[in-house]
Structure 1
Amino acid sequence: MEGSKKLINSPDTCVDQMLAGVVGAHPSLLLHTKKRVVQQRNWDRQRGIVGLISGGGSGHEPFCAGYVGHGMLAAISAGSVFASPPAYSVVHAIRCIATDNPGGALVIIPNYTGDCLNFGLAVMQARNEGLKVQSVVVGEDCALLSSQHTSSAGRRGMCGLLFVYKICGSLAEQGLTLDELHDEAEKVITCMSTLGVSLSSCSLPGAGPLFTLQEDEMELGLGVHGEAGIERLKVCSADEVVGMMLDRLLSSLSLSSGEDVAVLVNNLGASSQLEQWLMCGLVQQQLKARDITVHRIYAGHLMTSLDMAGIQVSILKLPPEVKDKWLGCLDDITDAPAWPGSPASVPVESILAPKTSRDFISIVETEPKIGGPILNEEQCKLLKSCLKAVSESLEAEETKLNELDSGAGDGDCGSTLRRLTEGILKSMDKLTLDRPAVMFQELAHIAESSMGGTSGAIYSLLFMTASNALHKMDQLTAENWGLVWKSGLDGVMSYSNARPGDRTMLDALVPACELYLSSPKETASQTLLAVEQAVAAAIEGCSKTKDMVARAGRASYVSEALVTDFDAGAYGVTVWLRAILDALQRKETTPTTKYTCDNKTCIKK
């Protein structure tokens, strides 16, 4: 499909050039180019206030670099378009803000699987380094609250994140502690609800539209990445659209006559200013008609979805016990360039003078630790052949993996895994093959720096926790390989809500690991048979995903009618497990068993 027109040089460089443009236009911001981290240029580590850190995929501008400034965020980590930033980028942001800062850092995470995994891994690493840091996950989308949606992923993070940034940023300036800010953020989240409507799809740089709407159709309740909504309707009047949205929003917050709110009206990217402000006025009118008082309303391009035409409405309920405090926080002045509030939006002027701060101090990356079993030359050669076989097999399956992913995600699973294999092959001669514990650390870095998004976080967690297990071992036996595998899986599941049966890569990985662990491995032939049986279990698990309901990841937000084939992540697991088996079989002289998968079933030949 021909890509939509965009004023870019290349899809591969557009994010970095966009960030350079943002910082060039706002000298108060500082860009760490290689890490894609934007922070307050004059952040002062010694003043002791808590620094707020957030981030997410690009393509949602001005979210979230536009909200870096005094009274809002101290720093952000930006990912590729619609992809979570890798953990190493988030760790760098935390180091910049929390190092030598007794106040610490509060990491505010949008509730998307990739963000939760990557930011969760980063928080864990930062804590291991002794930094003072807490995190909170923000999810306020009310589209998926009905009984028909059973996703374990929870409510998606939408433009309501801005209420958390602004209120907690103001309270941080006032000197609240990290624990107090964490608790306040949780209160704000429980009082928020957001819903969106779209008249058109968005298109990624270099690609076509993510979905198709007919000229007379609109989508209610869709996500900011183009995930399917709860209902596809015929286009109707703006009054009717606002009425439908408010019905759901007020119900989700249990709002009734006489209550108080603040409101965000978010332009998803391609709606005209006329439509945006028209919708803003209608929201005010209809809330007033329902005897609900709108104390503040902000409108603009707040968290866009590239070139999507549509509007989101986010409502913040103002309970009496926090109403004045939260309104004061919303009114406090900030130099974050994209915050839509101004003195003109405040009924009673209340402006705090910005605090002064000192220049940025650079942070040095930590070195990987050395330890674990040492392999001999023959074992290193076998390990290298396995890595090459995996890389070649995943590259050969790129198109099929993308096709499998197109119905449930954004159709890039194969491309994402191909970037991993390119990173592995490029670094092959530099990998510390004789020390697997170190090599898996290196693979974790390759995964998070080359893949990005959810897949990058999952594979990085898999490799990093496998490395941690290897560091505790004196020798690497066939049995210990199984324990390393199990540790990697435990690491992934400790930061993800996904479990076997949720239609993810775990449906192939877990049964394969369990079968390998339970099989005898006293001889080389027994070990090879154990691997063969593990491959068969992975293929069987992958086949079962065809009939599963997605309950985790981006596919959990998509209509079941659109998810009709294998899970792409599970199929990817079968690809690299089969490649490992082939490499091991080439070393042995035993008869080989070949496996193949077509688009309908997996079979043994």
Structure 2
Amino acid sequence: METTTNTKHLINGLEESVRENLLGSVLRNGNLQLLKDGNIVVKKDFKNSILAKNKVALISGGGSGHEPFGVGAIGEGMLTAVVAGNIFAAPSARNILKAIRVLGSKDKDSAGVLLILNNYTGDRLNFGLAQERALLEGYKVGSVIFGEDSAFHEIKSSAGRRGLAGVVLLIKIAGALADQFKGFDYIKAEIEKVAQNIRTISVSLTACNIPGVGLSFILPNDELEVGLGIHGEAGIERIKMRSAMEAVELMLNFIERDAPWNRSEMNDVKIALLINNLGGLSTFEINIITKEAISQLQAKGFCIERVYCGAFITSFNMCGVSITVCRVDEHILHLLDAPCASEIWQNCISLPKKPNSNETAIFQSDSTLEIKSDCEIIDSLPFARSEFLTAVETACVKIMEAESYLNDLDSEAGDSDCGSTLSNGAKAILNCIRKGALQPSFLQLAHIVEEVMGGTSGAIYSLLFTGASSVVSNVIANRLEVKNKVHFWYQAVDKGMDLISKYSLAQVGDRTMLDSLNALRTQLVLNENSTDYSTLARKIAEAVDEAANSTINMKARAGRASYVNQERLTKADPGAKSIAIWVKAIASLFLEQ
């Protein structure tokens, strides 16, 4: 029998829901402010409490839907700012860079800005891009990418462990160190060391109910999902429903097998325990789980020094729980006990909770003003300009038509929004074309998809287009004549793929969009000197379609699919299929000639 989880949401509209969520958070908390031109929330007094005192500023963020995490972690002794993405989608590099500009300084003696993020591909890509751009602009900035998911201790993936609720402990420790005026390098090194001693595992009674999507997967009422992430993706295994005692025993066995300490050390291992409600469990149930976790850990010989219990990082209304164990010593305990004040961690309760006025809830910063790129000068295509726009328009139409199909493919391993995300980008590009505002420019396409699509898909497509843009800009800057058009397009695809691999860590053969792109690249190489574009187009269409279909039988080694039980992956990778769809659409234009 299938689950009967509620699939309704009390919101005004999907498109404005993220911004309204942030605005509600700052309107009820006079200690916070929301940036006028970005989904960035900051500690209101950051100029006096952070910049003037030259403390290291701490920034985190990620997709929305994990509340109270994000904004709830801003406060004294915690984060300085949070950058929010769309629902379960990473924030754009552009908005992350805005936050760095607001909190950072180009002064050589600046304390710097430290980015703390959970290890998800989209976050890694977008925070990485923002960090690179900020470094080029002269800011002192670095990052700590955190992953502690014990579900994957025996599973090899280029993506690494997922980050879960344990990041809250890292943020608390980093905030305490920043309040002690510790330096940038010291804080980074300390929390990276602590991160090695944190492990988390999760279970859930239900799927996640995602606004605009619905249930992220179907879970029968008599089954329990084990080893989930926090974005609605399914776990690594599914078992029959069992008692709280048995469920906790299973979870602790995962942590024990993955623990960074020897079993012989058990009686000497001091730990902090964090019980995280994923959103839908009652306090009644959480208390029983906490009782079980404490009694079972003590029976195993652990010395439990601290217990933290509550909703720290949720997945909307998912009826699930995660258990985090962190090995501690007196130094770490001192940092965990240090005074702080934020919604999810309130050691200090004297901070007045005054509401914000409409006048003070929003702020504008000159630091976020951007220099507009002149795409026409930088990388406007020097040939086939009208054909370029026609090809882009055709590709966008086909992607929009495939929205439901791609969402269905994404339901196996993601949050069922691949088609919707790509369709949003396609709509924005089409709107630009129909207004006559789109140049034959890959750089302009990169800006559009990064801003509109967001998340992993936005970052990856932005990297693809940015790579192609660098090839075009090189031609323009050096006044080169493009004699071999096929070789030119090979270089554009090749450079884009290189950038995707650099920041996503994915390779050809990992069951991603790179597999379809590689088929395109291969045909361009094999037919480099061809001028029979119709025959070449047919070969390309057949090759990308075959490559996309071949992902059905591939083992996922990158992206969210690599975290899912491989037996559940029975369909083609949605990223690879999306490439095949728009490449075939463009190829059809040449077949018609």
> What pairs with 1:449-598 in structure 2 (closer than 5 Å)?
449-473=451-475, 474-475=479-480, 477=482, 478=485, 479-521=487-529, 525-586=531-592, 588=593
1:23 to 7, 23, 26: 26
User: Which range moved further: 105-114 or 274-283?
Assistant: 274-283
Q: Note if contact 1:42-1:360 (Cα within 8 Å) is conserved in structure 2.
A: no
Name the SS of the counterpart of 1:52 in structure 2: strand
Distance 1:373 1:189, change over 3 A: closer
Q: Percent identity?
A: 38
Q: Which residue of 1 aligns with 2:137?
A: 129
1:269 to 273, 279, 287: 279
Shift in Å, 1:17: 1.1
Matched, 1:138 2:140: no
Distance 1:527 1:432, change over 3 A: farther
Matched, 1:113 2:121: yes
Q: Which residue of 1 aligns with 2:359?
A: none
AA aligned to 2:185 is: D
Deviations 1:144-199 (A, max 9, x none): 112xx332211110000011101011112212222222211211110100011111
AA aligned to 1:488 is: G
AA aligned to 1:22 is: S
Deviations 1:494-528 (A, max 9, x none): 00121111111111001211321342336xx3455
Distance 1:285 1:415 in 2: 46
Name the SS of the counterpart of 1:12 in structure 2: helix
- Gaps (5+ residues) in structure 2? 351-362
Deviations 1:320-369 (A, max 9, x none): xxx2221111111122222154589xxxxxxxxxxxxxx98431213225
Q: Note if contact 2:234-2:413 (Cα within 8 Å) is conserved in structure 1.
A: no
Question: RMSD value over aligned CA atoms?
Answer: 2.3
Distance 1:191 1:431 in 2: 55
TM-score (structure 2 length as normaliser): 0.89
Q: Which residue of 2 aligns with 1:420?
A: 425
1:330 to 331, 336, 340: 336
> What pairs with 1:198-597 in structure 2 (closer than 5 Å)?
198-253=204-259, 254=261, 256-318=266-328, 323-341=329-347, 361-363=365-367, 364-368=369-373, 371-372=377-378, 375=381, 379-428=384-433, 436=440, 439-473=441-475, 474-475=479-480, 477=482, 478=485, 479-521=487-529, 525-586=531-592, 588=593
Q: Note if contact 1:67-1:337 (Cα within 8 Å) is conserved in structure 2.
A: yes
1:103 to 82, 106, 111: 111
Deviations 1:26-68 (A, max 9, x none): 1111112542111111212343221111111111101111101
Name the SS of the counterpart of 2:160 in structure 1: coil
Name the SS of the counterpart of 1:266 in structure 2: strand
User: Which range moved further: 96-105 or 134-143?
Assistant: 96-105
Q: Note if contact 1:2-1:207 (Cα within 8 Å) is conserved in structure 2.
A: no
TM-score (structure 1 length as normaliser): 0.88
Distance 1:341 1:540 in 2: 57
Q: Note if contact 1:261-1:295 (Cα within 8 Å) is conserved in structure 2.
A: yes
Distance 1:392 1:361 in 2: 38
Number of aligned residue pairs: give it: 561
Distance 1:579 1:201, change over 3 A: same
Distance 1:185 1:211 in 2: 34
Distance 2:341 2:404 in 1: 46
AA aligned to 2:578 is: G
Deviations 1:258-294 (A, max 9, x none): 2101111101111111121232233222222222111
Distance 1:55 1:138, change over 3 A: same
1:65 to 59, 67, 71: 71
* Deviating 4+ runs (over 6 angstroms): none
Name the SS of the counterpart of 2:90 in structure 1: coil
Name the SS of the counterpart of 1:79 in structure 2: strand
Shift in Å, 1:433: 5.8
Distance 1:517 1:431, change over 3 A: farther
Distance 1:27 1:339 in 2: 17
Q: Which residue of 2 aligns with 1:173?
A: 179
Name the SS of the counterpart of 2:322 in structure 1: strand
Name the SS of the counterpart of 1:257 in structure 2: helix
Instruction: Tell which has more relative contact order, 1 or 2 (C-alpha 8 A, sep 6+).
Output: 2
Shift in Å, 1:551: 1.3
